[in-house]
């Protein structure tokens, strides 16, 4: 591992064990290794019913009739509900309210929810749903840009009333964001080489392991208690309550255990359905998707088609860039508008290019709805611009890393949006570090005396080669991702912190609505409380809607924003504690009035280290309890014509070097090593930081060589299972050495920089660059399949 630089001004609270900067272990670790941690699908209630969702077999069809009589007569069935049973709001959505709770006259994608069943056994519910007779009349399909924007194209949302409807060039375009800066034509005239390329990214799935689940319990006051796995409790609440016709305070949500998310739990899945069935039947209702249904139950990463043009001068300087990015948003908007904003504003990559013409847009089609997934619009662009960088370097006969370093942005650079990058942007340094890592030895699969260990070769235990036809390649990539919600969104979080004495010891209780989805926010919140309040004992209160919103666990933002809220609230608690101390003890020691005071090791100490008194003595009989909101610096919307605006609050950078070995005869790829260097500003928990980087890297590997939801020409999902949708196993995943750089962002709490997404970006293009290096093939599409390598 490389040298880790730590800003010296961030070590406050070092007198308290388990604070910021230490690899403290997860507070939920013991429960998770003993099987006692209660995930959403583990919820259970006396007298509970099981819900099941009937889904459309068609991608676009009119519903002529629905006959539920036979299903209702099935013994054990308590309720069947359709659109006709909805009495209040009938649609929801993250950005546009365009998604029907249950299909209303038309289904717009394969797997759209049509009816609900509640029964006393999950199999009874499933079988009853199969008895619901739905008469469909298939409608013409919209499946790509050509069919979506044809003059006679069927309009998927003819009555759309969202805030983007008036500026899009066609009603089947969800949102379009151009960015123009500089003079592309003049710059192009100066270019010695021009490289154009067409790229395509397949539809990736989040494939979190814990399927969508939840338990809704009707309450005596007419409301409902919902135990749920989600990424953002309050965004769910805002969408659920109107459908139930209830005020938000009567929909009480508690976060249950969440088995991963990666963007796939940002939209509602079964939340409203379980609540509707619970209120309808008066009984608790649990819904648990199986893996098949999970593939239909959440949005996916947008598949994309990208056209890029770059020019450069002989000395390796990029003159200009033009690009057009077309994202398939599927049947409903989900977070497509924000994904468009990201794709356009980050389309240039971490490079200084003064002259750009950029256009990104998302389509409405009858394909599966797409929305948030780790990397959020920046992944697709990174695959394309990094391929372009390699091609430019080859045209100029330059080293691909050296070429990137010439054009790499650094602090003070101007983005195509006009935004000045006002914190460290060590792009060239990350490339240098990842290139400087030792290379894995050649032919590691050779065994002394006994041939080859096939487990280390392409094809693995299929025993397809013992090294014949195997060629090694090395590739590099670097990417840029925004951190936090952008484009003027009021991105705040809330924390409530209570400090009191329990059994003679000061104890802090931290209460937020942050969705812990595995990332380790609960670990970090306790560390922040220890550092700020100087206590050892910290209790993390379960996340629920009894405290203000924490915003979403996405956009690499939770440590920044909810971590910031916890820090800010702890500071307020500390001030109250010191006020109490001054009132009680101020007359005994002048330092109470004159010195800067800290809380460390359970004591009030001066900045010179003198102990004034114990926290227990200050708090005796008192409980300090504070709730505060905290928000990062405001951002601006992008101008709809020029794309100009300070749209992002922070940028995050990671670089990868991939080493692959390819069986060139069979087209099989073995990723031998995937090294990563990333700047994280400040590591609040080094063990968790490395875990995020390695996990993100592996999802990028999956997109590079295996992961794709295959959608047929009839817009139907062909592979909704882990048999047919492959994610990397431990045999597919290489060693992932990580070099963490810490260059503080002075605007962020503790100097931190969001970690979770940037490595997902650069991993994919690095792997594909390595495959290109091994094979000499252009490879403009991911995932790369064997047939792309063998031409068969």
Partner 1 sequence: MRVTFTVNGRRQEADDVWEGESLLYLLRERLGLPGSKNACEQGECGSCTVRLDGAPVCACLVAAGQVEGREVVTVEGLADHSRERSEGGRTTGARGTSLDEARTWQAGPTGVGPGSHAADSLTGGGTELSPIQQAFIDAGAVQCGFCTPGLLVTADELLERNASPSDADIREALSGNLCRCTGYETILDAVRLAAARGGTAKAGEGA
Structure tokens at 74: 């099935």
Q: Where are the beta strands (DSSP E) in 620-702?
A: 624-631, 650-663, 668-679
Q: Are 469 and 663 in contact (CB under 8 A)?
A: yes
Which H or E element spans position 270?
A: none
Stretch that binds partner 1, among 22-30, 308-316, 547-555, 625-633 (CB under 8 A): 22-30
Q: Is 623 in the site for partner 1 (CB under 8 A)?
A: no
Closest CB 520 distance from partner 1, rounded Å: 7
190/455 with CB nearer partner 1: 455
What are the phi and psi torsion angles at 214 (to 5°)? 180, 165
Structure tokens at 428: 């060239």
233/243 with CB nearer partner 1: 233
- Which member of 10, 13, 24, 96 binds partner 1 (CB under 8 A)? 24
- Which member of 41, 82, 652, 664 binds partner 1 (CB under 8 A)? 41
Closest CB 369 distance from partner 1, rounded Å: 21
- Which member of 609, 730, 791, 792 binds partner 1 (CB under 8 A)? 730
Stretch that binds partner 1, among 142-150, 450-458, 482-490, 600-608 (CB under 8 A): 450-458
Instruction: Give, in order, the Cα–Cα distances in Å from 731 to each of 453, 670, 737, 757, 763.
Output: 13, 9, 16, 23, 17
CA distance 355 to 262: 34
**Exposure of 721 by Cβ count < 10 A (0-12 exposed, 13-18 middle, 19+ buried)?**
exposed
Instruction: Give, in order, the Cα–Cα distances in Å from 587 to each of 331, 581, 583.
Output: 69, 10, 8
- Which member of 12, 15, 28, 144 binds partner 1 (CB under 8 A)? 28
Closest CB 789 distance from partner 1, rounded Å: 23
- Which member of 6, 9, 11, 30 binds partner 1 (CB under 8 A)? 30
What residues numbered 109-148 form the site for partner 1, per CB under 8 A? Answer: 121, 123
By rule CB under 8 A, what string of x and - marks binding of each residue 183-212 to partner 1? -----------------------xxxxxx-
653 beta partners: 480, 679
Structure tokens at 427: 């792009």
- Which member of 729, 787, 791, 792 binds partner 1 (CB under 8 A)? 729
What are the phi and psi torsion angles at 475 (to 5°)? -140, 155
What residues numbered 519-578 form the site for partner 1, per CB under 8 A? Answer: 519-520, 526, 536
- Which member of 4, 6, 11, 17 binds partner 1 (CB under 8 A)? 17
DSSP 483-502: ES--TT---EEEEEEEEEEE
Q: Is 176 in the site for partner 1 (CB under 8 A)?
A: no
What residues numbered 669-698 form the site for partner 1, per CB under 8 A? Answer: 687-688, 690-691, 694-698
- Buried b vs exposed e over 25-48: b needs ≥16 C-beta within 10 Å? ebbbeeeeeeeeeebbbbbebeeb
CA distance 463 to 470: 13
Select from 692, 652, 271, 719 the least CA-distant residue to 426. 652
- Find tokens 């959505």 and name the residue: 93
Closest CB 230 distance from partner 1, rounded Å: 13
Q: Where are the beta strands (DSSP E) in 411-461?
A: none
Closest CB 179 distance from partner 1, rounded Å: 34
| Preceding peptide of 783 cis, ω within 30° | yes
262/376 with CB nearer partner 1: 262
Q: Where are the beta strands (DSSP E) in 285-337?
A: 285-288, 300-301, 304-312, 318-328
193/456 with CB nearer partner 1: 456
Closest CB 665 distance from partner 1, rounded Å: 24
Q: Is 259 in the site for partner 1 (CB under 8 A)?
A: yes
Angle between helices 336-345 and 378-395 (to 10 degrees): 20
Instruction: Give, in order, the Cα–Cα distances in Å from 605 to each of 570, 583, 625.
Output: 17, 16, 21
Stretch that binds partner 1, among 20-28, 466-474, 499-507, 660-668 (CB under 8 A): 20-28
Closest CB 6 distance from partner 1, rounded Å: 19
- Which member of 199, 262, 485, 592 binds partner 1 (CB under 8 A)? 262
Q: Is 448 in the site for partner 1 (CB under 8 A)?
A: no
Report the alpha-carbon angle 682-685-691, nearest 5: 105
By rule CB under 8 A, what string of x and - marks binding of each residue 452-491 to partner 1? -x-xx----x------------------------------
121/167 with CB nearer partner 1: 121
CA distance 594 to 606: 9
Give the number of residues in contact with partner 1, rule: CB under 8 A.
Answer: 69
516/745 with CB nearer partner 1: 516
Q: Is 593 in the site for partner 1 (CB under 8 A)?
A: no
What residues numbered 269-298 form the site for partner 1, per CB under 8 A? Answer: 288, 290-291
- Which member of 473, 518, 521, 581 binds partner 1 (CB under 8 A)? 518
- Which member of 2, 14, 39, 153 binds partner 1 (CB under 8 A)? 39
321/690 with CB nearer partner 1: 690
Q: Is 29 in the site for partner 1 (CB under 8 A)?
A: yes
Closest CB 444 distance from partner 1, rounded Å: 10
Q: Is 446 in the site for partner 1 (CB under 8 A)?
A: no
DSSP 324-335: EEEEE--SS-TT
Closest CB 454 distance from partner 1, rounded Å: 10
- Which member of 10, 13, 18, 253 binds partner 1 (CB under 8 A)? 18
DSSP 363-417: E--SSPPEE--TTTTHHHHHHHHHHHHHHHHHHTT--HHHHHHHHB--TT-B-TT
What residues numbered 629-668 form the site for partner 1, per CB under 8 A? Answer: none
Q: What's the length of the chain?
A: 792
List interacting residues with partner 1 (CB under 8 A).
Answer: 17-18, 23-39, 41-42, 44, 121, 123, 206-211, 257-262, 288, 290-291, 453, 455-456, 461, 517-520, 526, 536, 687-688, 690-691, 694-699, 721-723, 727, 729-731, 733, 735-736
């Amino acid at each position: 591992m490389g040298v880790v630089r730590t800003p010296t001004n961030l070590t406050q609270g070092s007198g308290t064990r388990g604070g910021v900067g230490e690899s403290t272990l997860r507070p939920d670790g013991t429960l998770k290794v003993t099987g006692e941690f209660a995930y959403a699908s583990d919820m259970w209630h006396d007298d509970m019913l099981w819900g099941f969702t009937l889904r459309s077999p068609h991608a676009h069809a009119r519903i002529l009739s629905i006959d539920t009589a036979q299903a209702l007569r099935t013994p054990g069935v308590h309720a069947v509900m359709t659109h006709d049973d909805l009495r209040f709001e009938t649609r929801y959505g993250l950005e546009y309210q365009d998604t029907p709770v249950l299909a209303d006259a038309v289904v717009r994608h394969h797997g759209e929810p049509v009816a609900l069943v509640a029964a006393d056994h999950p199999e009874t519910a499933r079988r009853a749903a199969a008895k619901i007779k739905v008469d469909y009349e298939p409608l013409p399909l919209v499946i790509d840009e050509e069919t979506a924007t044809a003059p006679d194209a069927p309009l998927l949302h003819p009555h759309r009333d969202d805030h983007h409807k008036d500026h899009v060039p066609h009603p089947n375009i969800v949102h379009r964001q151009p960015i123009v800066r500089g003079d592309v034509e003049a710059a192009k005239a100066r270019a010695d080489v021009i490289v154009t390329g067409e790229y395509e990214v397949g539809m990736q799935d989040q494939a979190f392991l814990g399927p969508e689940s939840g338990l809704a319990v009707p309450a005596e006051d007419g409301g409902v208690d919902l135990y749920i796995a989600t990424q953002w409790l309050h965004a769910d609440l805002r969408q659920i309550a109107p459908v139930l016709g209830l005020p938000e305070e009567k929909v009480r949500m508690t976060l249950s255990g969440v088995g991963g998310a990666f963007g796939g739990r940002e939209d509602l899945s079964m939340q409203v359905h379980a609540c509707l069935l619970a209120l309808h039947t008066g009984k608790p209702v649990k819904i648990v998707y199986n893996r098949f249904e999970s593939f239909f139950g959440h949005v996916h990463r947008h598949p994309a088609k990208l056209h890029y043009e770059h020019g450069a001068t002989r000395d390796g300087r990029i003159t200009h860039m033009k690009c057009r990015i077309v994202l398939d948003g599927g049947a409903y908007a989900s977070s497509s508008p924000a994904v468009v904003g990201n794709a356009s504003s980050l389309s240039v990559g971490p490079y200084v290019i003064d002259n750009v013409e950029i256009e990104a847009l998302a389509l409405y089609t009858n394909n599966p709805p797409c929305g948030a997934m780790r990397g959020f619009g920046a992944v697709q662009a990174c695959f394309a611009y990094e391929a372009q960088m390699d091609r430019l370097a080859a045209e100029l006969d330059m080293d691909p890393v050296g070429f990137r370093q010439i054009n790499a942005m650094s602090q003070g650079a101007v983005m195509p949006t006009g935004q000045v990058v006002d914190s460290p942007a060590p792009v060239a340094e990350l490339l240098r570090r990842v290139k400087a890592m030792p290379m894995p030895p050649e032919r590691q699969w050779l065994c002394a005396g006994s041939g080859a260990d096939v487990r280390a070769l392409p094809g693995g235990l299929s025993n397809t080669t013992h090294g014949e036809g195997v060629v090694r390649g090395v590739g590099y990539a670097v990417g840029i991702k925004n951190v936090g919600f952008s484009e003027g969104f009021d991105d705040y979080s809330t924390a409530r912190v209570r400090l009191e004495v329990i059994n003679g010891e000061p104890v802090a209780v931290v209460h937020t609505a942050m969705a812990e989805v595995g990332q380790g926010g609960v670990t970090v919140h306790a560390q922040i409380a220890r550092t700020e309040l100087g206590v050892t004992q910290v209790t993390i209160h379960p996340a629920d809607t009894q405290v203000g919103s924490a915003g979403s666990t996405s956009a690499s933002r939770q440590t920044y924003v909810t971590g910031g809220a916890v820090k800010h609230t702890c500071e307020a608690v500390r001030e109250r504690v010191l006020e109490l101390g001054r009132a009680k003890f101020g007359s005994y020691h002048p330092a109470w009035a004159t010195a800067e005071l800290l809380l460390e090791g359970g004591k009030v100490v001066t900045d010179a280290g003198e102990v004034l008194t114990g926290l227990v003595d200050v708090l005796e009989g008192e409980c300090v309890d504070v709730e505060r909101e905290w928000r990062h610096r405001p951002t601006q919307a992008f101008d709809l014509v020029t794309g100009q605006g300070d749209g992002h609050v922070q940028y995050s950078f990671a670089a990868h070097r991939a080493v692959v070995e390819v069986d060139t005869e069979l087209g099989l790829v073995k990723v031998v090593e995937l090294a990563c260097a990333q700047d994280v500003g400040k590591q609040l928990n080094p063990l968790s930081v490395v875990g995020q980087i390695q996990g993100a890297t592996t999802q990028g590997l999956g997109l590079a060589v295996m992961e794709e939801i295959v959608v047929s020409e009839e817009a139907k999902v062909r592979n909704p299972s882990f048999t047919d949708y492959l994610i990397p196993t431990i045999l597919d995943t290489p060693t992932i050495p990580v070099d963490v750089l810490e260059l503080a962002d002075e605007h962020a709490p503790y100097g931190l920089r969001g970690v979770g997404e940037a490595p997902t970006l650069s991993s994919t293009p690095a792997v594909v660059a390595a495959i290109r290096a091994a094979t000499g093939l252009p490879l403009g599409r991911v995932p790369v399949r064997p047939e792309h390598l063998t031409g068969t």
